[in-house]
Structure 1
Amino acid sequence: MTQTAWDQRYDTPGYLFGLEPSAFLVAQRHRLARGMEVLAVADGEGRNGVWLAAQGMTVHAVDGSAVALRKAARLARDRGVSLRATRADLVTWDWPRAACDAVVSIFLHLPPETRPAVNRAMARALKPGGVLILEAFHPEQRRHGTGGPSVASMLYDQATLRADFEGLLAFDLLEDGEVALGPGVDLDTGHDRVGHTIRLVGERMA
């Protein structure tokens, strides 16, 4: 989707993906400490970035949608936290280098012609020993129909992520499986959805 298309999708009174942070991110809280510099990639309306800021971290959220980032700023104000926000095309953005203690990427999906470079830029944004926390939809997700891209090449499996981060990350966790995704605001459902995701935690190699 283009930035304009995402602006249009986010231009609703509510929050498209809800206000609660990713359950996988919350489960990795023990890897994160107050005062860390965290880059929240494709952070959308801020549900993850604002949660990170509320845990005492310094958060830089980057997303392609100005509409989403305005909603993220509003959420941050409502929660009484600070959030630095940048609108950028992740493919052409001048990424930080060795500047972040953690990078968080939740449900960012890119086509194969741009995905490897962006993934490697995320890893290179980390300081040595810094942690990348990533969750995305796996190809098996297409059986569920509960979110994510319909194009198979934009879904991630273990081999794809191993290749993208080769030589940059030491993996603490790389697994896929069925998970409860939570309520889907954009799908107008009040019950938990089941999906198939891939989850990665890796540390930046020196």
Structure 2
Amino acid sequence: MSWDERFSGAEYYYGTEPSAFVRAQAWRLARGSSVLSVAEGEGRNAVWLAAQGLCVHALDGSAVALAKAQELACARGLTVAVEQADLARYIWPVEAHDAIFGVFIQFAPPPLRQAMFRGMAQALKPGGYLFLHGFSRRQLGRSSGGPPVAEQLWTLDELRAAFPGWEVAHQADYEAALSEGAGHVGAAALIDFIARKPSEAPGAAR
């Protein structure tokens, strides 16, 4: 199933409310901060972040998803910039954003994931925050969401290694119950990782 097909229904596949991670951690950002949400999907996180007074740019490969994101923003009287892009070919900006969110972006096999992490590091301003949230390697075999492929799931060791020299502001590997539309439902093993790009060193991911 393509992402356009997945998001083609009238309902929002992952719901319209932000992930608990986004809701809990956005306090770190000042109003007016420039935020990039990678593989945003139908807009649930981007629209909520915009409601907190952040300037949000939503990036996704699915035009169908981004149209629904715009509809959700409009319904709530908010503005979110959207951009359709193939993340395998995306030309990342340089030091353009105060924060970048990657929430459940585990469609990416390791080579693409590494390229995306390098791009996200490049796109962050020095001192900016990277927010990553997804399924732990312990999620394998569960039906509550995520890819059925171990190498597309995360460990904290792998995330720390991808951003050497970055200040880790928050990290956790934990259990939680998900209720996010039809897409994420049930007990899940989750990873939170928030790191700050060094203010002086380039800090590119390996």
Same fold (TM over 0.5): yes
> Would the aligned equivalents of 2:12 and 2:181 in 1 still touch at CA under 8 Å?
no
**Secondary structure, in 3 states, of the residue corresponding to 1:85?**
strand
Alignment of structure 1 residues 116-195 onto 2, 5 Å: 116-167=114-165, 169-186=166-183, 193-195=186-188
SS in 1 for 2:40: coil
Bigger mean CA offset, 147-156 vs 118-127:
118-127
CA RMSD of aligned residues (A): 1.4
TM-aligned CA deviation for residue 137 of structure 1? 0.7
Match of 2:27 in 1: 30
Q: What SS is found at the alignment partner of 2:110?
A: coil
Which aligned pairs between 1:1-206 and structure 2 lie closer than 5 A?
5-109=2-106, 110-167=108-165, 169-186=166-183, 193-206=186-199
Q: Secondary structure at the match of 1:122?
A: helix
Shift of 1:180: 2.1
AA partner of residue 117 (structure 2): N
Output the TM-score relative to the length of structure 1. 0.92
Structure 1 CA distance, aligned partners of 2:83 and 2:31?
Answer: 22
Deviations 1:76-100 (A, max 9, x none): 1001000100000112111111110
CA distance in 1, matches of 2:5, 2:143: 22
Query: Would the alpha carbon gap of residues 74 and 184 (structure 1) be closer, same or farther in structure 2, given more than 3 Å must change?
Result: closer
Moved more, 135-144 or 59-68: 135-144
Write the letter of the residue equivalent to 2:112: T
Unpaired runs of 5+ residues, structure 2, are 200-206
Paired positions, count: 198
Determine if contact 1:183/1:193 at 8 Å carries over to the other structure.
no
Shift of 1:135: 0.3
Distance, in Å, in 1 between the alignment partners of 2:180 and 2:164 is: 35
- What CA distance in whole angstroms lies between the structure 1 residues aligned with 2:183 and 2:124? 33
- In structure 1, what is the Cα distance between the partners aligned to 2:179 and 2:94? 34
Percent sequence identity is 47
Q: CA deviation at 1:173?
A: 1.4
Using the TM superposition, give the Cα deviation of residue 183 of structure 1 relative to its aligned residue in structure 2, in angstroms. 4.1
Q: TM-score, normalised by structure 2?
A: 0.92
Distance 1:107 1:66 in 2: 18
Question: Which is further off, 148-157 or 169-178?
Answer: 169-178
